[in-house]
């Protein structure tokens, strides 16, 4: 009981005040203070899939996410502190759900990219990773519009993963 009277106030004060001097973070560390800007050139399309505008959609969604996040400001490559390069490696559009009558009711679009994040000032690659995400769409109705929703869902997830890897995974 005596130990509890000593231990509880210490534990309580650590929980309330946080661990200001702790060198670790539970949410991932932030970027170094000298990294303020990022260039995001248009991703290459090495997939051979031939989806019109896919590389532009991925790049624009990444730029939008970085603008909304406000951790790094979008900048021209010539003056940027960092750069995020990428290439679309593959795109798959395949059946996801097949009904009892052997009709495809849902299809899944999977987009895989390779991205690298480089510190241009230190001339050092911070990371290079592969990312893959998917989006389902209704194959029975909606046609091209429905398919585009599947692509948009995959792009949303993919770009969110890349943003998190860039600003949080330190």
Which of 3.40.50.10610, 3.30.930.10, 3.40.190.10, 3.30.750.24 would CATH assign to domain 32-167? Answer: 3.40.50.10610
pLDDT score at 170: 65
The string of pLDDT tens digits covering residues 34-87 is: 899 999 999 999 999 989 999 999 999 999 999 999 999 999 999 999 999 999
Yes or no: say if 58 and 158 are a contact pair by the CB < 8 Å rule.
yes
Q: Is-contact 18 46, C-beta < 8 A?
A: no
Distances in whole angstroms, Cα of residue 119 to Cα of each of 63, 64, 144? 18, 21, 40
Q: For residue 46, what is the DSSP state?
A: -
- Nearest C-alpha neighbor of 92 from the set 31, 33, 50: 50
CA distance 124 to 141: 48
Of 71, 33, 34, which Cα lies nearest the Cα of 162?
A: 71
SS3 for 6? helix
Has residue 137 got a pLDDT over 70?
yes
CA separation, residue 155 to residues 4, 63, 81, 88, 126 (Å): 52, 12, 25, 11, 23
Predicted pLDDT of residue 46: 97
Task: Return the pLDDT at 125.
Answer: 96
The domain spans of the chain are 32-167
Give tens-digit pLDDT for 91-123.
Answer: 999 998 877 787 888 999 999 999 999 999 999
**pTM of the full structure:** 0.79
């Amino acid at each position: 009981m005596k130990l509890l009277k000593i231990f509880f106030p210490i534990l309580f004060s650590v929980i309330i005040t946080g661990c200001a001097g702790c060198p670790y973070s539970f949410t991932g560390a932030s970027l170094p203070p000298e990294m303020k800007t990022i260039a995001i050139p248009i991703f290459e399309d090495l997939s051979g899939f031939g989806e019109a505008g896919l590389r532009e959609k991925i790049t624009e969604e990444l730029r939008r996410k970085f603008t909304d996040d406000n951790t790094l400001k979008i900048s021209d490559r010539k003056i940027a502190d960092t750069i995020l390069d990428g290439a679309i490696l593959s795109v798959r559009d395949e059946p996801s759900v097949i009904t009892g009558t052997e009709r495809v009711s849902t299809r899944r679009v999977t987009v895989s990219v390779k991205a690298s994040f480089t510190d241009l000032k230190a001339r050092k690659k911070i990371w290079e990773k592969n990312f893959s995400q998917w989006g389902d769409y209704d194959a029975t109705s909606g046609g091209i519009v429905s398919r585009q929703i599947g692509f948009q869902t995959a792009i949303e997830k993919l770009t969110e993963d890349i943003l998190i890897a860039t600003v949080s995974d330190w």
